[in-house]
Structure formats: structure tokens, C-alpha cells
Structure 1
């Protein structure tokens, strides 16, 4: 009964004012979730409202995040991906416009679900809507996933004045980008730390600080494949903790992805 009441309440909110139901989670403040609101509202010029995919049986959108397994028959997918290498969908989405990367697409095709060969996490589009005006102040920015915030590796680097520890648990997208833009390079155990660095042409590496981040690296590999990055070179050895050695671990690359194709596939706006 409570689920029914919540579903009716959401429908009334949608009728009251034009709003787009987009899957994102607010129980833990996390930039990856907040990006859904920020980007969808920028692109569509409409307000975003969260929903429960188990009860909400109207048109809804899956945009940013490893949330695809929660889609229902009314879901329209633009940029989402899977969290794990295996495990099925609860239901086939109404339409798939784009997915995060080739590994997600391969899973969908194995499940006999049509998926166009259009890739990209929509967070890569951030520079089209916000340009920071920061000068470089740090040799390195470190972005721990919220489950890794107390990592000894992070604590050790935080003592270095040339390192900027950036909090992923924020609801201020533009402030986060400002902090990232102060850094010459980025190391992150959060996927969106890597993605946003790439979006703003700041060299980035993934570091796996613990086994607490779900998926065993699937979402990182999915993303790296979508932009043509070498997955082996893109991961920093956790045993490297000296700043100079970390900097020496970076390699030259340019992301290779058609963002116009991704944006043109957008189902709203």
C-alpha cells in the first residue's frame, strides 16, 4: 500500500509541473547521482524528479550510472551501464538510445535486446554546459570513491601540499569541476572522477584502493573501451604511493569518442 501511495504521489507531481523522471539516488550524497539532475536539467530545460523503478510504471529515463539492471519496460536508456559482468535485466527497456560502453552493449545483445552502437557516459558532455576558470595549483588531484575516503593511501598523499584531495560526496557539480581544474593530473577510485577529468582534458588514472567498490572493475573497463583508452595503462598500481612515481605512471592519450553522436541520440531536450 505504501508503494502504491508513493507511486500515485509521484504521478501527481509530474502532472502538477512538467518534470522528467530520471533514476538517481539521494540516500547518499554522491556526485555521480547529482550529475543526473544537473545535466538532464541543463539539456532539457525541465525539472528532474527521482522515481522507484519497481513501482513507477510510466515513461522514465536512465542516464548516468551503473543502474541499467534496474530498468523496467517503460525505461528509456541514454548512457547508463551495467555494474557487473553478468546478471540479467529485470525487464527489457522500452528504448535504448545509447549506453556507457561496449561491454554493456555486449551484455544487452547477449540478452537479445537491441542496442545501437552509440557509446558514452553523458558526464563527458559537461564542458558544453560549464567551463571552469581555474589556474593549475596542484600537481595531482586525488578523488577517492566515498567508500575509500579513509584509505591510508589517500591519507598519506593528503600530507603533500602539491596534492588536492577532492570530495566526491558533493551536490555542487560546478564546485567539484573547479577543484578538479586546479590539478595537473587526476587519480581516482571513483569512475566519475576519471570521466570528468577526461571530459576536461586532464590526464587521469584509475586506482583501486579497496574491494569495496562493486563490480570488480567492470564499469571502468566499459568506460575505457568507449573512449579508446588502454585499460592496463589507465590503472595505477596501488603499491605506488610516492608523488613523483605516481606522476611518472601517467601516459599520453586522447579520448576517442563521438560526443555529437551521443548528444544527438539524447531522447529529451
Structure 2
């Protein structure tokens, strides 16, 4: 493309980003929809709340933004070469599952990544990190009172595992929370528990968002990278996960009702998320008020 053509795209894009029509249109957000999973659904809910705009699902090449999830492998596959005649999508709080080539970085705008492991693998120099799931508490007006139960939030691939099912039947104190259920209901169940045991990454993250102590349960064959990436972003100590057969032995010693030792890290990540959200994707003040009224 010639320099003159690029100038035309830039001017058109700048005018588009500042137009009332753009700010009223839904944000085109890419999130994973292959399998029902509350953590993925939270992406659309959090982005709508932070931006004051409606959100619609889009594929990676048609999106304005990618947020919650370990989706940078998918973004890399779609943006290893520049896509002409479109604005670069923004990455906000997204992470990696494994190392990938960094050839896609010139073709996207990185506002924020999930954690320092992702940043190091991409060669991104930053001290700001955060998973948008930490903003989940802002979605719920009335936080339920804490119940005397321990939420068990398995990875979506483990919900029907015979070992998990047998564990729940044998331990009345455990409340099995299906991550494939309604996202906000899952969050309420987590928020009202005295402790959370989770192999679901967002089971742990949402517990942190509500200040509920949590224990990492083995995610089976799932990569551990994303867990360590998130934990490092908030300064959370993360030892090896416990196995399902170890849960009965640790139930009596689980901490509850205590402040998280890394609460300052959570607060810092929340602030970084708000600060780095792409300004052009926020609704104008009048539009934000209209959006909020429509949500009531």
C-alpha cells in the first residue's frame, strides 16, 4: 500500500474512532465461545460495564478488542500478517497458554496483558498487568452474605469427571459450582462461599475479586502457565495445586474470613485495568448514562 493510501486509512480511522456513530455502536469483542464457560462470558459483561457500551461477539479478524482469556495464540494465528483496510484490534488483559512467535505484535495494539509471564514471552516491557475478571465485583450490586460452604469450581472439562462427582457426594461441605452455568450466578455462588477450591482459572480470579480465600485444584492436563501468569500479576503466592483425592484431608484446615495477603496487588491490577482500557472504546458521557439507564 502506498504512503498516500496509508494516510487515507489513518485519517478515515481517526475520524471513525471519534464519530458519534462509532461510539454508539456495540464494541466488537472476541471471546471464546467454543464451550460454555463463565470465565469467557465474563469478558463481554466486564467490557460492557467498563466501556458503557453494548458488546457483540466478533471473530478475531473482525474484532475491535480481545480481553478475558488465554487467546493470544488465536490472535497470533490471525495477525501474523497485517490485515489491510482495518484498524488494529486492541489487546486488554489477555494472556498466553504457551510461547508463540511475536510476529503479530506490529499488527495489534497491546493495551495490557494478563501477567508478567505473558509479557516476558512476548517481550513486552511493562509493569502494568491484570485479568479483567478482577473487575467482576463491579457487576453485582448486592453481594450475597457468606454461607458456611466451600465452593468447588472445576475446570469446565472436569465437571463430569467421576472423581469430581464422587468427591462432591462424599463431602457435604462442598458446593459444586458448574462453570458452564450462568456467569453472574457462578460469581454469586463464589462470592457467598467461605472458601473456594478451583481448577477453573476464573474460579480463582473471581474469588480474589470478592476477597474470598481460595485453593488451587489440579487442572489435570491443562497447562499451568496461565495460573502462574495471573498469580504473578497480583503477587499471589502459588504453590503446586492439590489433587482431588487430597481435598477431604485439607477441608478442615482451609482459611476463611481472613483478608487476602495480596490484596494490594489485586487493587493495583484493578487500577491498571481501568487506566489502560482503550479510551476510544469508552462511550461519551451522555451515551454512558443512557446505557446505564437501559441496564436497569
TM-score, normalising length: structure 1: 0.81
- Show the counterpart of 2:189: 179
Distance 1:249 1:90, change over 3 A: farther
* Rounded Cα–Cα distance in structure 1 between residues aligned with 2:162 and 2:253: 21
- Show the counterpart of 2:292: none
Written as runs of structure 1 = structure 2, the 5 A alignment for 1:98-113 is 98-109=112-123
- Show the counterpart of 2:6: none
Written as runs of structure 1 = structure 2, the 5 A alignment for 1:36-47 is 36-47=43-54
Distance 1:129 1:227, change over 3 A: same
| Shift, 1:208, TM fit | 1.1
Does residue 1:253 correspond to 2:271, yes or no? no
| Shift, 1:262, TM fit | 2.1
CA contact (8 A) 2:64 2:90 kept: yes
Unpaired runs of 5+ in structure 2? 1-20, 83-87, 283-296
- Show the counterpart of 1:200: 210
Q: Which deviates further from its counterpart, 117-126 or 88-97?
A: 88-97
CA contact (8 A) 1:142 1:154 kept: no
- Show the counterpart of 1:66: 70
| Shift, 1:90, TM fit | 5.8
What count of residue pairs does the alignment treat as equivalent?
Answer: 242
Unpaired runs of 5+ in structure 1? 1-13
CA contact (8 A) 1:205 1:250 kept: no
Structure 2 counterpart SS, 1:79:
strand
* Rounded Cα–Cα distance in structure 2 between residues aligned with 1:167 and 1:132: 21
RCO greater where, 1 or 2, for CA within 8 Å and sep 6 or more? 2
Structure 1 counterpart SS, 2:247:
coil
CA contact (8 A) 1:77 1:96 kept: yes
Distance 1:247 1:38, change over 3 A: farther
